[in-house]
Amino acid sequence: MAKSKILLGLGLCLAMHSATADDSAPAKAWEHYKQHFISQDGRVIDIYQSRVSHSEGQGYGMLLAERFNDRRLFDTLWNWTRNNLQARRDGLLAWNWGQRPNGQWNVIDYNTASDGDLLVAFALARAGQRWQAPAYTDEARRLAKALRENVAAEQQGISYLLTGYYGYADEKGGLVLNPAYQIPSAYRAMGELDDKAFWEKVEQGGATLWQAACDNPSGLPADWLAVRKGKAGTDEGHPAHFGYEAIRVYLYADWLEPYQSPCGGEQLLERYRKDKRLAPWYGLDGKTASKDEASAGYYAIASRLAERLGRGEEAKKLRETADKQIAWDPDGYYAYSLYLLAVAPR
């Protein structure tokens, strides 16, 4: 396969960052991230959540190590992930690792989080390409196959990856899905390594889910949806919010070329212009919102969104806020992860 085709499949042809950004801020944030959130043996630590580790966090750390061209750290992160989370017979990752009630540190929950597996596989695929390391590519292929064989679902001809191996079906037989688990550039990378037709269908299903997520008075994507007979609606088991989860829809859309603007982007920027700030969540009723201010990660993602939509001055202001605020939350693993994934080298 031609190298150019692989690069396109991996979603590496991504947009350049705004020239107005503080070029030193991402490097400083990355140094803090490595020292504060990554243990010497390669565990990404969520300090606010009792210092646990997630498959998602390992995927974020691996993607960042690849972006910053740090193969030694990438190896350390992957070795910890493989040795501690790849504890299921089906080859997927246990999603949650931390301190058990008896004081031992081990897997807490053996269920999967499909975005965690997908992020790790995506990082491995990118690393295999960057460093010409077939072993990484083979591991990515194995994870892609395990996802396809164990967490795939179809309703009314629309294909999805389940949120987890079990526990994400509602009482009415619907699938409980998270729009922020849809990562189109990762789906394309998996399609280059595994069953291309399957991953194309999953990407199409994800695009359908993104569009359905905005079918509410706010126009913003919902954090969670329930899909019944192919139709998506707000999941009653989660708050009717856009926020902590769905902000990543705009992050993952930004990773894809050619760029396809997801729904709700204009509405989010309009809320920013109106309120002079971003909130960590907005109600899907279009009326309610948190009184708190969003983290640096939100501002960094919104900056990329504004730049994609041709709003250069707004993008600059959002990025300046992100660069300032990132230092205000030194223990915020999630805020730092989103910030770096939005502004790190591509």
Catalytic residues, which ones?
56, 115
Q: Which residues pair with 159 in a beta bridge?
A: 154
Instruction: Decide: 205 and 159 in contact? Cβ < 8 Å.
Output: yes
Q: Which residues pair with 282 in a beta bridge?
A: 242, 289
The full 3-state SS of the chain, as one line of letters, equals: CCHHHHHHHCCCCCCCCCCCCCCHHHHHHHHHHHHHHECCCCCECEHHHCCEEEHHHHHHHHHHHHHCCCHHHHHHHHHHHHHHCCCCCCCCCCCEEEECCCCCEEEEECCCCHHHHHHHHHHHHHHHHHCCCHHHHHHHHHHHHHHHHHCEEEECCEEEECCCCCCCECCCCCEEECHHHCCHHHHHHHHHHCCHHHHHHHHHHHHHHHHHHCCCCCCCCCCCEEEECCEEEECCCCCCEECCCCHHHHHHHHCCCCCCCCCCHHHHHHHHHHHCCCCCCEECCCCCECCCCCCHHHHHHHHHHHHHCCCHHHHHHHHHHHHHHHHHCCCCHHHHHHHHHHHCCC
Q: On the CB side of 148, how many CA atoms lie within 13 Å of its CA?
A: 21
Quick one: tokens of 298?
A: 């939100």
Q: How many CB atoms lie within 10 A of CB 58?
A: 29
Q: Amino acid letter at 253?
A: A
Instruction: For residue 206, give the nearest of 124, 118, 133, 131 by alpha carbon.
Output: 118
